[in-house]
Amino acid sequence: MPQTSVSAPRPPDPGHRPLPSDHRSLAPDLARGVMLLVIALAHTHLFSVLLGGADPAPSVLDRVATAGTVVFVDFRGYPLFAALFGYGIAQIHRRRTEQGREWRWTRKLLRRRALWFLLIGALHGLLLFPGDILAVYGVVALLFVGVLRLRDRALAVIALVWLPMAAVAHALISAGEAMTGQVLPPLPDGFLSELVFRLTLYPALVVVMVLSTVVPFLLGVLAARHRVLEQPREHLRLLRTAASIGVPLSVLGALPLALAKAGVWSATPLDHLFIAPLHQVTGYAGGLGYAALIALASVRLDRHRGRVTDALAALGQRSMTFYLAQSVAWAVLFSSYTLGLPMTSPAVGVGVAVTVWATTVLLADLMRQRGRRGPAEVLLRRLTYGPVR
């Protein structure tokens, strides 16, 4: 009898399975874990504005908390997260290319992933927190997925051309705030009132944040091409330069706005046209400087990984889950239809932010010990790739 040839079943695409924890680079996960603290500090400071407004006679601690937030947090941690997002997109592209996938297949995959980011982020922004970044990442990925095929020089040119757009937007917003004396409208009472508040505020924030995301996103793509965070030992000189220049430059660029926000300097609307873009642009340097510092720390920590390092890395591996969990915490703590806690003090906000972040570190470490991945990461991977067979 003639033999019938039976083709072997095709093995599952390795891209459908997450990278094992022991194969992951420490620096990106550590950066995400640490930067979630910066995100928490920024969000609680925002709630101190939405719920408490501007205190005509703030305490010394409140002034210090406000100035410290402007110098070290506002538009400092966010560029790093945006750069890490670009870094991750470039990693997916590189891995699929190494697996022999064509560009059309990879582009379709990344666009599908971006659409789910957009949908999840929109729900998050409308239902929980209007300062959502996930939908922003989805928009940027959809618009700029083609840059993955451009050369390094082209990426740098696009970043330089885009840089003034975000700076001008923030200059106008800051000048408008100085003229009206109001940063944001107060958060209203009631579920429906808060929902309408988010519906009106969210679209405007998305536009501003998209403008602010493109530059660090492109720099993240550029860094991923050279595996700066995956192989930090091979880029020590670059990392030391970025840290020694980026962080001091960021601090100096933020000082004028910090003095104005803390009430130490009475800046005019014309002053804000200059100090706001200075704060914005130097924030990019600060975000990259933070990334470089964490990458340098990971070189030492990776040799002798302790419990704290593992816990922070575990949080970074589940950053999307606990980013959303922070918003749930804010809704429970501050919404008028839940606990409705007053937030009139930026200094108290710092304590709340650190407490919530520390709780997520403990929860992430428990999940690591039990071998549990973040539910948001599991959902996004399943929606992007489909079920693993």
Hey, where are the domains in the chain? 24-383
> Which alpha helices (H) appear in the chain, and where do they start and end?
26-47, 60-72, 77-98, 103-127, 134-144, 152-180, 191-225, 236-261, 269-301, 307-317, 319-334, 346-369, 375-385
| Amino acid 169: pLDDT | 82
Q: Which two tokens stand for residue 340?
A: 């409705």
**Euclidean distance between CA atoms 113 and 172, whole angstroms:** 33
Find out whether 381 and 22 touch, Cβ atoms under 8 Å.
no
Find the helix packing angle between 77-98 and 134-144, rounded to 10°: 50
pLDDT in tens, 33-91: 999 999 999 998 888 777 765 555 578 898 999 999 999 998 888 899 999 999 999 99
30 closest CA partner among 368, 240, 377, 312:
312
* Regions of the chain short of the pLDDT cut 50: 1-15
User: Phi and psi dihedrals of 169, rounded to 5?
Assistant: -60, -45
Determine the pLDDT at residue 91: 94
Neighbours of 97 (CB within 10 A): 13
pTM for the model? 0.88
Give whole-number Cα distances, 204 to 136, 208, 335, 369, in Å: 11, 7, 21, 41
